[in-house]
Structure 1
Amino acid sequence: MPEKKPDVRAFILVVEDEALVRMMLVDVLDDAGFKVMEAAHADEALHILAAVPDVQVVVTDVEMPRGSINGFELARRVRHDRQDIGVVIASGRVAPAPGDLPEGTHFVGKPIRPERLLELIRALLPKG
């Protein structure tokens, strides 16, 4: 029986309250060869991050009506707890104010061009 090769695809968590936008992001990332999990709001994302240590990048919306925190606060918590995880924050309505983006995060306006999203994620992944 052949030895199973380890799965070396990067693990991305998509946090987006709009189901159609979330599905589009997941499809883009899946087509690019990433492993993808999804969450509908930041609280759900924090539960996933606590349970799944392999996540390497979080892609999050800013405004999510459900949940107790927005995407900026999620990014701060992720970067505080897990400096090894990069974060891409996206919004079509809210721009980051000074101090909103912790180190290890990138901001992108919506609608997100797939090429730009992939470029930002690859920049956050460890080299090699």
Structure 2
Amino acid sequence: MQHEDYDWISRRAHEIWRAEGCPHGRNQEHWSQAVDNWRDKQHELAPPAPTDHVRRVMVVDDEALIRFATVEALEDAGFEVFEAGNADEALVLLRRCEFDAVFTDVNMPGTTDGLGLMAIVRARSPRTRVIVTSGHVRLGAFDLASGVSFIPKPYAYDAVVGMLKGPGA
């Protein structure tokens, strides 16, 4: 269990205890109820599962040679691939058609970067798989939206293909 989850449960158990008039000898009941509340909260906040089968992918990177090579590798792996040179171009494509996955660099010129694009994609289409990449920053789970993966540059194309196809594919 993550530290912040434990803290949430602890605070909730204390709230329940206070709401019931601070009774003695019922700590286990309060704690159990708080854990149940936490589980309910996790279930409500869980994003919909990503699409099981990725067919259509958008690659977003302002570095043309990297973008072209990634597009070619994904096409060779059987994906239908679209490309954008920045998040603004990607947003235009997102208005025109649906994608099963978006693979985006972080640092790009334009009105938003890859992290902004990630947030927009998650808000508009929570089932779309999103993979973020960067050669300048290392991002962890707390830096990314729920359900978003990170792969550092330089990356192996077969690693990206594996992330898109999922386990056992």
Q: TM-score range by the shorter chain?
A: 0.7 to 0.9
TM-score by length of 1: 0.84
Between Structure 1 and Structure 2, the one with more strand by share is 1
Match of 2:114 in 1: 71
Tell me the alpha carbon deviations over residues 67-95 of structure 1, each in whole angstroms, 9 at most, x when there is no partner: 11111111111011101211110001112
The percent identity for this pair of structures is 37
Matches within 5 A, 1:28-107: 28-53=73-98, 55-65=99-109, 67-96=110-139, 99-107=142-150
In the aligned structure 1, how far is the partner of 2:140 from the partner of 2:74? 28
| Pair 1:23 & 2:103 matched | no
Match of 2:14 in 1: none
Between Structure 1 and Structure 2, the one with more helix by share is 2
User: Deviation of residue 97 (structure 1)?
Assistant: 5.7
**Equivalenced residues, count:** 117
Question: The residue matched to 2:166 in structure 1 has which SS?
Answer: helix
In the aligned structure 2, how far is the partner of 1:116 from the partner of 1:9? 15
* Structure with larger Rg: 2
Unmatched runs of 5 consecutive residues or more in structure 1: 1-7
In the aligned structure 1, how far is the partner of 2:87 from the partner of 2:120? 10
The verdict on how the C-alpha distance between 1:13 and 1:48 changes in structure 2, with shifts beyond 3 A counting, is: same
In the aligned structure 1, how far is the partner of 2:164 from the partner of 2:104? 12
CA-based RMSD of the aligned residues comes to 2.1
TM-score by length of 2: 0.64
